[in-house]
Amino acid sequence: MYRVNFIALLFWFTTAECQSFSFTEMVNLTNYTTSKFNNYVSKRGFKPQEQEDNFTKYIFLDNKETTAEKCITKYNSTNPYIVSFDRLTAAEYADLKQKINAEGFTEGVLKGAEDTVLYQKNNITIYAVNERNENYYNLTVENKSLPKAKDIRYAEDLLALNAHEHIAAVYGTANVVKDVFITPDGKERNCSVLFPNSSREVVFIWSDEANYRNAQLIRIGGYARTKSALNYERPVMQNYWLSNQGIYIGMSLKELDKLNGNEIDFYGWDWNSGGTLASNNNGNLDFKKISLLLSCFNCSDGRYKRNKINSSTVALEEDRKIHVTTMVILPSNGE
């Protein structure tokens, strides 16, 4: 008669349970302080193995304390909070994936990293990498602290929302839609539109178009240039967003010139980039963080039609009725 070694079986189940974490535990661990994190993982059999300025790596040892079965890495970044879990088995990953999907996460693949699956929901982002040679999976969980809607006062504050899911988490899923932005030369880009067709409309154009994340620019005011806007027949009210540099939609060139404390150069109209600012502008305003699109009520003559740089000094002397129609908020390098 075949006999089961119950002591060995009990040890196997206990060891497997210690090594594995549920989806909820993985997310919760990103919120733990260092001391609470250390206490929690140590009770599960993980011990610190390597510590650097920006991370601490913990390993799980078998009963002989010779073989590293799994490891956890806690990164010292404060926003987002990041914890990675390495060497999950295919079965463990399948269980986690089922839970992730049940929680309503969107799923995608990172461009240029086909072995990396991306899951997003609200402020949580999960990266899953398949180590094919060993048939293991490594998961990284990012927990990003997002501002409350009431704390987003200026247009630049919107840069804290660096994914469609972030916007939905702060303003509600009903107030943001996925759309297609049409560039001046006719190309199409995936975008997200917050408060579409309203005085609070904002268009987020993404660097990672497939996953609607990593803002390349944020466009406010003017004609939205989105596919859904093509079918919107009613007029859109004046956009109310204000730049933290004091610029607003409808601001006159005279006001803008005074605010900058230096003349402003811009291109003439009737071409793809007409009304945009030249690259050589300087003064009180930081045009590396914001770009503008200007429009004019009385610039129909050829002088302001051509692809030529014009100055605010001359335009104001000629009493040209020029104003700001669109603000483009630009992320800083590394964002």
Task: Give pLDDT tens digits for 68-95.
Answer: 478 999 999 889 999 999 999 889 999 9
SS3 content of the chain, % helix, strand, coil (to 5): 25, 35, 40
φ, ψ of residue 41 to 5 degrees: the values are: -75, -30
| Angular region, 331: left φ>0, alpha ψ -120 to 50, beta rest | beta
pLDDT exceeds cutoff 50 at 154: yes
Q: Say which residues have a Cβ less than 8 Å from residue 58's Cβ, sequence separation at least 6.
A: 41, 46, 47, 48, 49, 71, 72, 73, 74
Task: Give pLDDT tens digits for 226-235.
Answer: 988 887 766 5
pLDDT exceeds cutoff 90 at 13: no
Pick 334 or 252 by higher pLDDT. 252
d(CA 134, CA 140): 18
How many of the other CB atoms lie within 10 Å of CB of 72?
A: 23
In 3-state terms, what secondary structure has residue 48? strand
Length of the chain: 335
Pick 120 or 66 by higher pLDDT. 120
Task: Give pLDDT tens digits for 276-307.
Answer: 999 889 999 999 999 999 999 998 888 788 77
126 and 119 Cβ atoms separated by less than 8 Å: yes
Residue with tokens 């997310």: 27
Average pLDDT over residues 212-233: 89
| Angular region, 312: left φ>0, alpha ψ -120 to 50, beta rest | alpha
pLDDT exceeds cutoff 60 at 334: no
Burial class (CB in 10 A: 0-12, 13-18, 19+), 219: buried
**185 pLDDT tier (thresholds 50, 70, 90):** confident
